[in-house]
Amino acid sequence: MVLVLPLSKDRKRISWRLVLIAIALQFAICWLMLKAPLVKEVLLQLNLAVSALGTATLRGSSFVFGYLGGGDTPFSVSNPNSLVIFAFQVLPLLIVMSALSALLWYWRILPWLIRSIALVFERTLGVRGPAGLVSTANIFLGQTEAPLLVRPYLASMSSHELLLVMTAGMATIAGSVMVIYSAMLGDLFQGAMGHLITKSVMSVPASVLFAHLLIPDAGHHAQALQAPPRIYESSMDAITRGTSDGLSLYLNIIAILIVLTALVALANGLVGFLPDVFGAPLTLERIAGWIFAPIAWLMGIDWTEAAKVGSLLGVKSVLNEFIAYIQLSAMPAEALSDRSRLIAMYALCGFANLASIGIQISGIGTMAPERRADLAALAWPAFLAATLASCMNASVVAIITN
């Protein structure tokens, strides 16, 4: 919060009661979802559901891609791990989850869940209207999908409400991507899906907190959305369109991973021409580690591991969390302690990266062209607020699980 206060538009209008409630809510949500026996058991069951979903998806990918998609090989294999092909065995889960999410939306299950959770934050934080609904919807939907729920209201939103919409979008991850990360990190964390859901729910009060600190709410609220819009015409329409949307995201992730990995390799090649520092060649990862190491230490990471986690934070902020999670999962067991890995998982969970700035300006700007200039002006504050929200979530987890 100390980093944000000097940037606040009007510090005199900050409601310190809201600030305290937002902080308390993060601790309460974290404790309830990670420590309460009943809730903890429910979250563990969600991991079993993810495992079942992954097994079912593997049936489909192996049918289409054969052994490349996880089917039986026509030859003997000495190293099974070498056959795990990310594009053909892991990412197809995203397409299935996208179709399933669309079906749950059509059946009114997902809208009911979103409205129920939104009501909790409305009662505690006073977050009402379309902005509050979008903030909660971001627990399950992406940063451009959630604003679609309140498209008619975007033009009349205040600067505070727009900032909250953008911050919540960057501080969380979509449910379909959440399942992918859970599958990727399942070997490192027991109950990975439960942790990712916990982080996304915690991000709502954290987003409200930092959006309020930067632009205190002036008390203006757009007209409340009475009912979620009807997006699909039938169950089959939901499955078909959800599959199509998932395929677009699938191809986009593959393309982004190829391009960004190549660009990082090129940049490291150029940086490698500089003299060695402390007996080792310079890389973007090392430079990011030095920059973000103090933030990692403040989150509760031991200083001896702060540079490694700081490097992941830099990769996540400059590139995206997907690549950062891949690097985290590829780290040797002795590189980080279990506690540091858990804190890092929470800190990396969010869409706050440079690419998301362009995505939000373009995506939300298409829905409300008259607000494009406002969106551009709020993009960097939203990026800062979302990054700090994720770091604060990680700090809370470090305290609760200590």
Tell me the residue ranges of DSSP E strands in 136-291. none
CB-count exposure of residue 279 (10 Å: 0-12, 13-18, 19+): exposed
User: What is the model's pLDDT at position 234?
Assistant: 93
Q: Phi then psi for 277, rounded to 5 degrees?
A: -120, 125
% of the chain with per-residue pLDDT over 70: 95
Structurally, the chain folds into a number of domains equal to 1
Name which residue leads in pLDDT, 185 or 285: 185
Cβ–Cβ under 8 Å, residues 391 and 310: no
Say which residues have a Cβ less than 8 Å from residue 2's Cβ, sequence separation at least 6: none
Return d(Cα 155, Cα 136) in angstroms, integer: 20
Phi-psi domain of 219 (left: phi exceeds 0; alpha: psi -120 through 50; beta: other): left
What pLDDT digit, counting tens, does each position of 182-217 carry?
Answer: 888 877 787 788 889 899 999 999 999 999 999 987
At 353, is the pLDDT very low, low, confident or very high (cuts 50, 70, 90)? confident
Return d(Cα 322, Cα 339) in angstroms, integer: 21
Return d(Cα 256, Cα 320) in angstroms, integer: 9
Phi-psi domain of 28 (left: phi exceeds 0; alpha: psi -120 through 50; beta: other): alpha
- Residues 139-151 have a mean pLDDT of 79
User: What is the model's pLDDT at position 219?
Assistant: 57
What pLDDT digit, counting tens, does each position of 51-98 carry?
Answer: 788 889 889 999 999 988 888 888 887 766 566 677 888 788 888 888
Query: What pTM, to 2 d.p., does this model score?
Result: 0.83
User: What is the model's pLDDT at position 91?
Assistant: 81
SS3 at position 280: strand
Residue range of the domain that includes 310: 5-400
Where is mean pLDDT largest: 5-9, 160-164, 261-265? 160-164
Residue 277 has pLDDT above 60, yes or no: yes
- Residues 45-50 have a mean pLDDT of 74
Where is mean pLDDT largest: 140-144, 190-194, 377-381? 377-381
Residue 225 has pLDDT above 60, yes or no: no
% of the chain with per-residue pLDDT over 90: 27
Q: Phi then psi for 154, rounded to 5 degrees?
A: -65, -40
Mean pLDDT of the chain: 85
Tell me how many helices (H) and strands (E) the chain has: 15, 0
User: What is the model's pLDDT at position 221?
Assistant: 52
| Amino acid residing at 14 | I
Return d(Cα 182, Cα 169) in angstroms, integer: 19
Say which residues have a Cβ less than 8 Å from residue 291's Cβ, sequence separation at least 6: 310, 314
